[in-house]
Amino acid sequence: MAVAQISSLDSFRSERRLAALLRGHDELGAAVQTARAALRRTGQPDHLPAWDEAVLHLFEANLGHAVLLGFLRQSEQWPATRSTDDLIAIGRAAGGIGRSAGSRVAHALLAEMSKVLPRLADAGDLAAVLAALGELAEAGPESVGLAIGRLEQLLAHAGAADFAAWVSAGLRASGGRASRRRGYFALDDPLSVRLFAVGRTSDDFARLEKRLAATMLALWNRKPRFRKLAIAPTPVPRRTSLAAGFIGLPETFPGFAGEGADAIYLAAVAHAGAHLAHSTVRFLVGRLKALQIALVSLIEDARVETLALGDMPGLRRLWLPFHSAVPSEQATAAGLMMRLARALIDPDYHDPDAWVSKGRQLFAAAADRWTDPAISREIGGLLGNDIGQMRLQFNARSYVVEPAYRDDNLALWDFGDQPDSPTETIELAVDSVRIERRDDADGRSTDDNARPDETLRAKPSAVTLLDGFPVATYPEWDYAARAERADWTTILETDAVASAKSFDPPTDAETVRWITRLTRDASIGRRIRHKGQRDGEALDIDAAIALTIERRAGSISEPRVYQRDAPGPRDLAILLLLDLSQSTADRDRRGRSVLDVERKAAAIMAAAVDAANDAIAVHGFSSDGRERVGYLRIKGFDEPMDAIIRSRLASLGSSHSTRLGAALRHAGGYLAGRRAFRKVLLVLTDGEPSDVDVPDPQYLVEDARRAAQQLRRRGTDLFAFGIGEGRFAQLDRIFGARHALRVPRIDVLPQRVMQLYAELKK
């Protein structure tokens, strides 16, 4: 009783002191009384004196009414299930950080804490995050706001301890330089992303890849093609992705380790196999909204899993443990969808919500049509209309498929050519291949100073690269700063598809024969030195010395003291890289597009080199900003130049821009993996590099020049054919005057090929 009286006395004194301090601030005084009353109702009145001290601390920090009102509103809405000590810790942290970094940062902290509090269920986790932010505010006040603004996305991928370690490592790595701190905590520095993953570097995908391949083969009799998806602190957690014949799996699933990691990878592969076996059609997006797309995808997930369970009931033991949704009084669209997903796979789960019950009933009523994918569209549409009438909000940008073993559902949808599709619809799918956050409204990085024609060209076909996998990142050279930006560009790679249209080979038979004869007769391979010859163009020093010794010893032998070089077997690999940017759709005075000329040139070159038994690959590229450099594989080194390759050439289209440097680096990687004496990278392009996010055209020219120089130092021969009637002023700068050849018309191609082989013989 005495302790209670002392506590009551302390509360009374602190309340009077606070009331005196707030006299004349009627709005704040009323807000304090409302918050105090709400906290009393939580059943923790003994914490009120400490709470009063936290409010006093904020008031005396002189951070403005907005900060104090923000804390009071948070106090008013504080959950009864959580200790008020955590609320007090947030208030004190806001005051301390505000003193160092300003009132705007303190206000941002309070706003962000309300979002991430569910992820910091343990008081120790909350304390670790607040302590890390306090340390950053003291050492780098200019950067703490950047970290706070990204707190939600960071904690979606790692725990509090990992976050604290990342902050500490960033402060050490910056060496006391504010500019480096800003880059690090804004996630613009590749080192930041790598250090963020320190707590999760156990690359579970690499450890389990062979086991997963065996599982796929055993369950679905399919030999999988896996791709590892790198983890980065993005707003949407990485999920499995099916596209272009590949199964993309994240290198690790955040929050899963040891046996848990094994289980979720096996569940993910089993689910992907169910899609490959039973998702036989792609749904047309049309005018569907993002919520409808998400619901149709959810029903399709349930449909293929139900069919798989009919054949292999044991799969339920893989999938069911990840369905942990439970009924809740607070209904949200995402929460109801998680509960419906569990209801459709767990017969023992009971949910009182009418919408969840309706979804389960509709799905059960369609049991005789489970083999028909159309039921997913029908049921998803009905449930989407119901959620719309319930006025539940759905944020397409923050939505993530749950449970975590399910894929992003990108492979289920056909976006077609729909420039008027709702932006949020496209965003929902694009997030599966995005590596970094885009800041503008439609999710693409644009620049007001970008070239108008390139910007406009990029927008109508913004989904043409959706089937590409992010397979590599490359540096980019900033000539103005004379610095290389590490991991600055991202390659999205895919295979070209065969076209239903026919592509006839060029009809100029004489041109084809000329180039074929030239390539076949050219001596490009490794030359073999024959020593100890009777005659030759050079003296064999070793043989001459040996002959001299023999003669002095009194021995007489035939004088074979010459050496002769002779051509060895052909040993040449050529990679033909086609510029597929929007400008290749431009037509000349005869009505032929640049892409048509590129197509014909590629067909002639590939057929001629193939006939000479040399290895040739044909790839293409275009770009839509540094994060989306599309790379298309048209013909592999070991594929013959046949009707299939010609049909792939026929399918090529023109879109987006020309980020040449990134494409050169990626193509160089393909050549580096090829065993050949001479390796040639030949670029067919119609102009100079450009992209929508680069206002300075010289920037990309200098980056491409640096990429070309680096490839030459590694032993790769680089040439460019300037296709069309342009001046190509920058090709000489990038490739060198001797290696930049003009092809204004297809009939000039033989002379240019002759120049190419003449240079290769040097």
Pairing state of beta strands 483-495 and 469-478? antiparallel
Pair of tokens at residue 216: 């796929």
Residues 6 or more apart whose CB falls under 8 angstroms from that of 721 comprise 601, 682, 683, 684, 685, 741, 742, 743, 752
Distance CA 385, CA 381 (A): 6
**pLDDT tens digits, 697-735:** 789 999 999 999 999 988 898 998 888 776 777 888 999
CB 659 within 8 Å of CB 623 = yes
DSSP string of 574-595?
EEEEEE-SGGGG-B-TTS-BHH
**pLDDT tens digits, 304-334:** 999 999 999 999 999 999 998 888 776 788 8
CB 605 within 8 Å of CB 732 = no
Q: Per the omega criterion (within 30 degrees of 0), is the bond before 403 cis?
A: yes
Q: How confident is the model at residue 341 (pLDDT cuts 50, 70, 90)?
A: very high
- Give the per-residue pLDDT at 17: 66
- Give the Cβ contact number of residue 753 at 10 Å: 25
Q: How confident is the model at residue 39 (pLDDT cuts 50, 70, 90)?
A: confident
Distance CA 734, CA 562 (A): 43
How does the average pLDDT of the chain come out, rounded?
Answer: 78
680-694: string of b/e by CB count within 10 Å (b at 16+)? bbbbbbbbbbbbbbb
- Give the per-residue pLDDT at 345: 94
Residues 6 or more apart whose CB falls under 8 angstroms from that of 569 comprise 525, 526
Distance CA 27, CA 14 (A): 19
- Give the per-residue pLDDT at 24: 60
Q: Is the pLDDT of residue 124 over 50?
A: yes
Distance CA 347, CA 337 (A): 16
Residues 6 or more apart whose CB falls under 8 angstroms from that of 591 comprise none
CB 733 within 8 Å of CB 689 = no
Crossing angle of the two packed helices 160-173 and 123-139, in degrees rounded to 10: 10
Q: Is the pLDDT of residue 521 over 90?
A: no
pTM of the model: 0.44
| Helices and strands in the chain: count of H runs, count of E runs | 29, 16
State phi, psi for 723 to the nearest 5 degrees. Answer: -90, 130
Q: How confident is the model at residue 597 (pLDDT cuts 50, 70, 90)?
A: confident
With H, G, I as helix, E, B as strand and everything else as coil, classify residue 570. coil
Which structural domains are found in the chain, ordered by start?
2-200 (no CATH), 205-443 (no CATH), 527-567 (no CATH), 570-760 (3.40.50.410)
Reading phi first (left if > 0) and then psi (alpha if -120 to 50, else beta), residue 715 is in left
Arithmetic mean of pLDDT, 196-211: 69
Q: How confident is the model at residue 21 (pLDDT cuts 50, 70, 90)?
A: low
Distance CA 383, CA 356 (A): 9
- Give the Cβ contact number of residue 261 at 10 Å: 18
Residue located via tokens 């900060």:
67
Candidate from 137-151, 161-175, 273-287, 446-460 with smallest mean pLDDT: 446-460
Q: Is the pLDDT of residue 517 over 70?
A: no
**End-to-end C-alpha distance for the chain, whole angstroms:** 100
**pLDDT tens digits, 390-436:** 877 787 766 788 888 999 888 888 765 444 444 444 344 444 333 33
Q: Is the pLDDT of residue 42 over 80?
A: no
Distance CA 25, CA 438 (A): 41
**pLDDT tens digits, 540-583:** 888 888 888 887 887 777 788 788 765 545 678 889 999 999 88
- Alpha carbon distances (Å) from 515 to 306, 519, 743: 58, 6, 14
Arithmetic mean of pLDDT, 462-488: 72
Distance CA 597, CA 744 (A): 9
Pair of tokens at residue 654: 């023109």
- Alpha carbon distances (Å) from 677 to 177, 672, 744, 754: 47, 11, 31, 20
Among residues 575, 626, 617, 630, the alpha carbon closest in space to that of 243 is found at: 630
- Give the per-residue pLDDT at 727: 72
CB 94 within 8 Å of CB 57 = no
